Structure 1
Amino acid sequence: MKKSYSLLLIGLMAWACQPKEAAVDYTSMSDEERLKVATEIAHKTIMVDGHVDLPYRMKVGGFTLQREILDVSVRTDGGNFDYPRTKEGGLDAPFMSIYIPAGNQQIPGASKALADSLILMTERLTETFPDKFAMAYSPADIEANFASGKISLPMGMENGAGLEDDIANVEYFHKRGIRYITLTHGKANLIGDSSYDTVRLYNGLSEYGKQVVQEMNRVGIMVDVSHVSDETFLDALEVTKVPVIASHSSVRKFTPGFERNMSDELIQAMAKNGGVMMINFGGSFIDSAYAAGSAKVREHIVNWLAENNLSRSDSAAQAYITQYTAANNPFPTVQKVADHIDHVVALVGIDYVGLGSDFDGVGDSLPTGLKDVSMYPNLIAELLKRGYSEEDIEKICSGNIFRVWRAVEEYAQNQ
């Protein structure tokens, strides 16, 4: 026995003394080498995007099997999302935004009706192209779809107005597949105040809004604090029993005065809650200089069109607009998005940040290098260049949002 133990000990010591494989230094690679590695990481790692506005784009564009309208199973001329580009970029689970415009709040029943129609449209997409897309209601569903090579389509409702004034609709929409609800959008609603609204009806959550958060906890829907006012944000953290998410928000430090983004104090409060902040890629979200730069370009183009008696649809005008915009590029770059991730990580750590692009929701404001879903590897390459490890990137891509999502599931299962 003693001899066997001695041999085992000697073996363990010998193993411990063996030289370990050195960690890869991505920072010393060339940009081309790093992008190749980043693309490989994107394809082998489950990537979740917290917010893609495809359903509303399909509604506006007329989703149909007829190729001449909108069919995202093939490469499309417009928009930021379609199946081929999604596969190229390594995106596996874009949260489909069931978007309710604030205007619908003025018509009783209109918000819920629109939410139902967009859910049906999303489901129809998976039914029409079952080899490409699949519904997903949990991290486990996403993992199973990833293993079979399908793009998962989890759903989040953007604007709690879809609940109308009936608390029972929280459970109803959970059964319909909604897995997060953004409490407000551009205007205050029955739930609480919005960051975009100068009117503050409740100075935070309403009493009904507090009940909504509690009911979301109970049934297993993540609380999304993007779009809410600072006071609503803090009220939601006080009421919730589980971590929250910000599905598509960026850092206010880079956009002073823009309440739609999150202040350092809110980021720290969310981290203390255990939540995750998913960075929005939109130009006005990541760079305060973008709005001024883009306005200047637009003004010049409008004046040039008038002086030359041309419309935007004229080929000569399109050529000039392309050339002028490129020469006077107002767009931020992929590096700016990485700056926002850097800031969150430096402030609260790697466990509280994710991706929430707002593709198909922020128009043409997207940064150079992140114009559509095929370009996620550019962001991963930039993170590798800054010293992030593969483990870090996995957390950003899906680990952090899965942690929150599973905590919400577990709490609901124990109620």
Structure 2
Amino acid sequence: MKQQTTLLLLTLCAIGISGCSSTAKQTSISADKARQLAQQHIIIDTHIDVPYRLHKDWEDVSVATKRGEFDYPRARQGGLNAPFMSIYIPASYERTGGGYQLANQLIDSMEALVGRAPGKFAMAHSTADVMSQFGSGKISLALGMENGTPIEGKLENLQHFYDRGIRYITLSHSESNHIADSSYDLRRRWHGLSPFGKELVVAMNNIGMMIDISHVSDQAFYQTVEISKVPVIASHSSLRSYTPGFERNMDDAMIKALAKNGGVVQINFGSSFVTQMANQYGALRKAAAKQAGVADDEAFELQFRKQNPYPFATLDTVLDHIDHVVKLVGIDYVGIGSDYDGVGDSLPIGLKDVASYPNLIEGLLKRGYNEADIEKILSGNLLRVWREVEAYAAKQKA
């Protein structure tokens, strides 16, 4: 619809009909420029939940799909070159076991995708892989493990998953595990990192695996950046200043500490991560169910949504988060961690799937970001961190 409107305005301009304006011309230029930049530069999104999506509800993402936010045609349209596919392990596996098995199965599924469509996908185990595959028409699939449960307290498992291509580990998820306390878990068993978690941070530095502090408690975050000899990442987190009290996001002091460490916060697109209204929506629904004396089940959720439409965020809201990081610590410490296929139907207006990155770029252009700055946000900052992690590990091995 947006492209159709732009084309109509350009037609009016071309034939001299009133209604054409300089604003329309500028809009067209910025949209065209955004699409051009999306194709010219590497786009790294550090958190896309395709593996677990396909594990639960398989589709062939090498062609257009009816469900989900990722497939090859849409990724190519949006300019996405190097998504980190999330090897997501639900927190319950810490209690039940089986996380090691599931992680290997999910990695297998990404390797199988490459095997089925070798002209469209390739695995990416290093920054060199990403760079060499750029421009080939292939999407480089990097891997990040969301939840360190599959490590099972064994450093040999860290080596195993490194050998299988995992290049970051989110230390914990929605519950505390044997590595670190979770931001969502009121039980702060370790008051940050466990003794093994502290050992694991050092081992991850030495092996060349990025450390992801999304999901961990504040104490675990500060202990991690104190121990780590290399920059860390927040693979899919947004800012607490827009969602007060939501520990899953990062506050300004944490962002400053992350920048001092040299790390990068990859902004999560989910509406509940970027606006207070959406963040509190679930709590309001639960309170309404309790007041009505009914179960907060799927039927009630549907009824509640009809009466209280979900307050979707917008593209501008996400841009506000990027602006905030840049104003606080500079352009070198922010990137993209959309959480596509991981936040349900809560994605913002204008950023609904992997075809939407040009919309983000257009918004950045309109806010005055130059091409060099935009390139840093799209991939440059994350590549810098990844290279530093690789270089440190190479020195340790030497």
The TM-score, its normalising length taken from structure 1, stands at 0.84
Q: Does 1:215 align with 2:203?
A: yes
SS at match of 2:92: helix
Q: 1:54 aligns with which of 36, 50, 53?
A: 50
Gaps of at least 5 residues in structure 2 are: 1-22, 289-298
Q: What is the CA distance between 1:347 and its match in structure 2?
A: 0.3
Q: What is the aligned counterpart of 1:100 among 68, 89, 96?
A: 89
The residue aligned with 2:163 is 175
> How many equivalent residue pairs?
365
1:124 to 112, 120, 129: 112
- How far residue 380 of structure 1 moved from its aligned partner, in angstroms, is 0.7
Q: Work out the CA distance in 2 between the residues paired with 1:105 and 1:384.
A: 44
5 Å-filtered alignment, 1:11-410, equals 30-62=26-58, 70-108=59-97, 110-292=98-280, 328=309, 330-410=311-391
Q: 1:20 maps to which residue? A: none
> Partners in 1 of 2:373 and 2:284 — Cα distance?
38
Please say if residues 272 and 280 of structure 2, whose CA atoms lie closer than 8 Å, have aligned partners that are also in contact. no
1:67 is aligned to none
- Measure the CA separation in 1 of the matches of 2:258 and 2:280: 31
Q: Kindly report the root-mean-square deviation, in angstroms, between the aligned alpha carbons of the 2 structures.
A: 2.4
Tell me if structure 1 keeps the 8 A contact 2:48–2:339.
Answer: yes
- The 3 A distance-change label for structure 1 pair 138 and 277 is same
TM-superposed CA distance for 1:167, in Å, is 1.6
Q: How far did residue 291 of structure 1 move?
A: 3.9
Using a 3 Å threshold, how does the CA distance of structure 1 residues 377 and 297 change in structure 2: closer, same or farther?
farther
Residue in 2 aligned with 1:4? none
* TM-score normalised per structure 2: 0.87
**Mapped partners of 1:168, 1:29: distance in 2:** 59
Mapped partners of 2:363, 2:281: distance in 1: 24
Contact 1:210–1:239 at 8 Å: present in 2 too? yes
The amino acid across from 2:213 in the alignment is V
Assess, with a 3 A threshold, how the Cα gap between structure 1 residues 235 and 295 changes in structure 2: closer, same or farther.
closer
Q: Determine helix, strand or coil for the equivalent of 2:62.
A: coil
**Counterpart-to-counterpart distance in 1, 2:155 and 2:53:** 28
Counterpart residue identity of residue 56, structure 1: Y
- What's the counterpart of residue 12 of structure 1? none
| Cα shift at 1:371 | 0.5
Cα deviation, residue 295, structure 1? 7.7
Q: Which amino acid aligns with 1:127?
A: G
Distance apart, 1:328 and its partner CA: 4.8
Structure with bigger gyration radius: 1
1:161·1:189 contact (CA, 8 Å) conserved in 2?
Answer: yes
